[in-house]
Structures are given as structure tokens and as C-alpha cells.
């Protein structure tokens, strides 16, 4: 993505090293090795879900590596006024820190941000292309109120492979996201209380009350909602297993490599981003695909690349999933300890 300048001899050196037997990369990695990925969820206290991810940070080094922070923030939207969409919507945006791309002008930076936002938006939140990914629990009151899910990502540093990092961070933030529990309320004159409709979907068990504020299921007629006090921050976002991840194949004729550094990205003619989603007990879905670079790729090779890409994506997905579960455990223990302290 970033155009680092590289001399012709450096480029030739990198390319010939990659084509050597066995292939060797500048930092000694194999072609399919990732740098170490650091991941932490729940980094932004005010967000509904957040994650910070770093690829390739040196141990004990202050900076270095590709760093992305992603956060999910929910916002209430009114469907009737036309702001929102029934069933909620997801909006993604990517911001690139000027410090990460100090060589880019502000216009070029805007373009880059826009490119990355579009990739993210079209892959995970396209309303017609990917309806299966849309979370089901973004509705507050049908046809009246819905959650707007803002997924914001910030690229703080770029040391190569920023798209993969972006998707991993986005997935981690969405995984971490909690949707607050809501309860519909409406003011009704007491005599209309006699026919409660408990059979409608989304019914909740609430104590019988004689208050004018009836909080029983009034999904059809409710005017507003309230947030009940619960011990946790809400329920997890629906379909969190399905969020796609990206794997980038850097294609140099006859070889391909994963997790390229900036210098490698600059010396490789073709890049193929493949976004896969692995829903449990369902075949993997190729959500989107992008081919960048000046070189050509034959259809046959493209098919092969997608096939191997799926395998790498599966490995990446499995590793990320187990890390996310581990993070969940860690934070639950932390939360429990804090709770115990407060008592």
C-alpha cells in the first residue's frame, strides 16, 4: 500500500532471494510464515467492543510493526425519520495516521483511507452482497429504532500487510462487541393492560406491574425503550463466528508469500487479497477478492491461488479464533477479580 522507495538492486536482491532454493526472506522467515501477531481486545473502555493488533513488533522495541486499533460503537437510530434502516446497519471507516504514512500528502492519505474503508465496508457490511453477515440483534424496536454499528479502525503504523491486519483487528473488535439489552416501553392507560400479548417474538419475562409504564412485550406498538441494569455489558453481537478475515497472497511468478514487509510489497508485482468467512458447520465463503498491481495473472493461476488462499485463511482463522477465546477468558477473570474486590 505504501510506496517505499527501493533501489533497483535492492528489489532484484529481494526477488532473487525469494526465488532461491530454499527461499529466504530478509528476516529469515519462510514464505508462508507470519511475523508475530500481538492482539488485545477491550482496549477502549468507552467502545462497545475494541481490539488492538500489531504485526511484527520487535520484542522490547518501542515502536515497529503494523499497528491497527479497531473499535465498535453502537448508536441508536430512528427508523421512522429515515436516518436508520430497519434491522440496523453497519458502517465501517478506516483512518490512517499521518505518522504512519509520513511520505504521503494529505490528499494521498485521504485516498488511501477511502480505499481501505471501501474494502472493509464492502466486505463486511454490504447490504445486498453479504446479507448473511448482517447481525440479527441490531433491532431495538422493529420499524422504529435500530442500532447503528460504527466500526472504526485506525492504522497507527504500517510495516506491511496492512489489509490483513485491518481485517483481523476488525474481526476481533466485532467479536468483542456487546449489544446492550433493551426493553421496549410505552405509556398506556391502565385499562388497556388487560390483553398482554406474550406470544409475540422477543417476549421477556417481566414482573406484572400496575404502573402506567408497561414494559412487557409491545414490540409492535412500543414508542421507546429502556436499558435494564444487568451485570454485564450486554449480549454478544449475533453471528460473531462469521466475520471474514483477509489473507493476502503476494504473487511473484512461481512463488507466493504471506505477510510481506514494506520492502517486499514494493518489490512484488501482484497482490491478491482474499476475504474468507468460516461459519461453523458450513463451507467457507469467499466474501470478496481484490487483485492489485501491474502484473498479469491467468485465470488458471487465479483459481489455484484461491484454493491455497483458502487453506491459509483457515489456518489464520483457527489461530485467531483461539486467541480471541483466550482473550475472552482473560478478561472474564479480570472482571471477576475486580468484582470480588469491590464487594
Partner 1 sequence: MISFASFPATSEASGSYGTARHHPDVEDDVHMDLDDDDFEEGVQRLTVPGESITSSHAFMRGHGTYVDNEEVIASVAGTVERVNKLITVRAVRSRYNPEVGDLVVGRITEVQPRRWKVDANSRQDAVLMLSSVNLPGGIQRRKVESDELQMRTFFEEGDLLVAEVQAFFADGAMSLHTRSLRYGKLRNGQLVTVPPILIRRLKSHFVSLPCGVDLILGLNGYIWVSKHVKQSEQEGEEGFDAEAVYSNKNDEIDDATRAAIARVCNIIKVLAAHFVPLTDVVLLEAYEWAVDQENSVKDLLGDEVGENLVASIGLGIRP
Q: How far apart are the first and last CA of the chain?
A: 51
Least separation in angstroms between CB 263 and partner 1: 8
Least separation in angstroms between CB 20 and partner 1: 5
295 makes contact with partner 1 (CB under 8 A): no
Instruction: Give the CA distances from residue 246 to residues 31, 146, 203, 276, 306, in Å, rounded to whole numbers and listed in that order.
Output: 17, 29, 38, 6, 12
Residues in region 6-25 near partner 1 by CB under 8 A: 6-10, 12-14, 16-17, 20-22, 24-25
Q: How far apart are CA 139 and CA 99, in angstroms?
A: 38
Q: Single out the residue of 48, 50, 54, 215 in contact with partner 1 (rule: CB under 8 A).
A: 54
277 makes contact with partner 1 (CB under 8 A): no
133 makes contact with partner 1 (CB under 8 A): no
Q: Single out the residue of 29, 126, 240, 331 in contact with partner 1 (rule: CB under 8 A).
A: 29
Q: Single out the residue of 75, 235, 315, 337 in contact with partner 1 (rule: CB under 8 A).
A: 315
Cell numbers found for residue 42: 477491550
β-strand partners of 277: 285
Are the CB atoms for 75 and 140 separated by under 8 Å?
A: no
Q: Single out the residue of 109, 258, 270, 275 in contact with partner 1 (rule: CB under 8 A).
A: 258
Secondary structure (H, E, C), 95-147: EECCCCCCCCCHHHHHHHHHHHHHHHHHHHCCCCCCHHHCCHHHEEECCCEEE
Q: How far apart are CA 133 and CA 238, in angstroms?
A: 9
Q: Single out the residue of 52, 144, 145, 171 in contact with partner 1 (rule: CB under 8 A).
A: 52
Question: Quick one: which segment of 1-9, 79-87, 208-216, 273-281 binds partner 1 (CB under 8 A)?
Answer: 1-9
Of the candidates 277, 76, 80, which has an alpha carbon nearest to the alpha carbon of residue 179? Answer: 76
Closer Cβ to partner 1, 74 or 157, answer by number: 157
In three-state secondary structure terms, 56 is coil
Are the CB atoms for 70 and 42 separated by under 8 Å?
A: no
28 makes contact with partner 1 (CB under 8 A): yes
Closer Cβ to partner 1, 37 or 109, answer by number: 37
Closer Cβ to partner 1, 54 or 113, answer by number: 54
177 makes contact with partner 1 (CB under 8 A): no
Q: How far apart are CA 98 and CA 289, in angstroms?
A: 27
36 makes contact with partner 1 (CB under 8 A): yes
Q: Contact residues for partner 1 (CB under 8 A)? A: 5-10, 12-14, 16-17, 20-22, 24-30, 32-34, 36-40, 52, 54, 58-61, 258, 263, 312, 315-316, 319-320, 322-323, 327, 330
Amino acid at each position: 500500500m505504501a510506496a517505499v522507495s527501493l533501489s533497483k538492486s535492492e528489489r532484484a536482491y529481494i526477488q532473487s532471494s525469494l526465488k532461491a532454493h530454499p527461499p529466504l526472506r530478509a528476516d529469515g522467515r519462510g514464505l508462508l510464515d507470519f511475523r508475530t501477531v500481538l492482539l488485545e481486545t477491550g482496549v477502549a473502555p468507552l467502545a462497545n467492543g475494541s481490539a488492538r493488533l500489531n504485526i511484527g513488533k520487535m520484542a522490547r522495541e518501542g515502536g515497529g510493526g503494523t499497528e491497527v486499533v479497531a473499535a465498535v460503537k453502537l448508536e441508536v437510530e430512528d427508523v421512522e425519520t429515515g436516518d436508520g434502516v430497519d434491522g440496523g446497519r453497519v458502517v465501517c471507516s478506516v483512518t490512517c495516521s499521518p505518522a504512519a504514512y509520513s511520505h504521503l500528502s494529505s490528499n494521498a492519505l485521504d485516498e488511501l483511507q477511502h480505499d481501505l474503508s471501501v474494502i472493509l465496508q464492502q466486505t463486511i457490511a454490504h447490504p445486498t452482497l453479504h446479507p448473511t453477515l448482517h447481525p440479527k440483534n441490531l433491532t431495538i424496536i422493529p420499524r422504529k429504532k435500530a442500532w447503528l454499528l460504527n466500526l472504526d479502525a485506525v492504522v497507527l503504523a504500517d510495516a506491511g500487510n496492512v489489509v490483513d491486519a485491518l481485517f483481523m483487528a476488525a474481526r476481533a473488535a466485532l467479536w468483542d462487541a456487546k449489544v446492550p439489552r433493551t426493553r421496549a416501553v410505552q405509556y398506556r392507560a391502565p385499562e388497556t393492560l388487560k390483553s398482554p400479548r406474550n406470544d409475540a417474538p422477543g417476549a421477556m419475562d417481566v414482573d406484572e406491574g400496575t404502573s402506567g409504564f408497561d414494559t412487557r412485550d409491545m414490540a409492535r406498538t412500543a414508542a421507546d425503550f429502556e436499558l435494564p441494569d444487568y451485570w454485564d455489558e450486554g449480549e454478544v453481537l449475533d453471528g460473531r463466528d462469521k466475520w471474514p478475515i483477509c489473507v493476502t497472497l503476494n504473487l511473484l511468478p512461481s512463488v507466493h508469500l504471506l505477510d510481506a514487509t514494506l520492502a517486499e510489497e514494493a518489490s512484488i508485482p501482484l497482490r491478491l487479497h482474499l476475504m474468507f468467512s468460516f461459519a461453523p458447520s458450513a463451507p467457507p465463503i469467499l466474501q470478496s477478492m481484490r487483485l492489485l498491481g501491474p502484473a498479469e495473472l491467468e485465470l488458471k493461476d487465479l483459481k489455484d491461488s484461491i484454493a491455497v488462499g483458502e487453506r491459509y485463511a483457515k489456518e489464520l482463522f483457527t489461530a485467531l479464533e483461539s486467541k480471541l477465546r483466550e482473550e475472552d477468558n482473560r478478561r472474564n477473570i479480570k472482571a471477576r477479580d475486580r468484582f470480588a474486590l469491590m464487594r
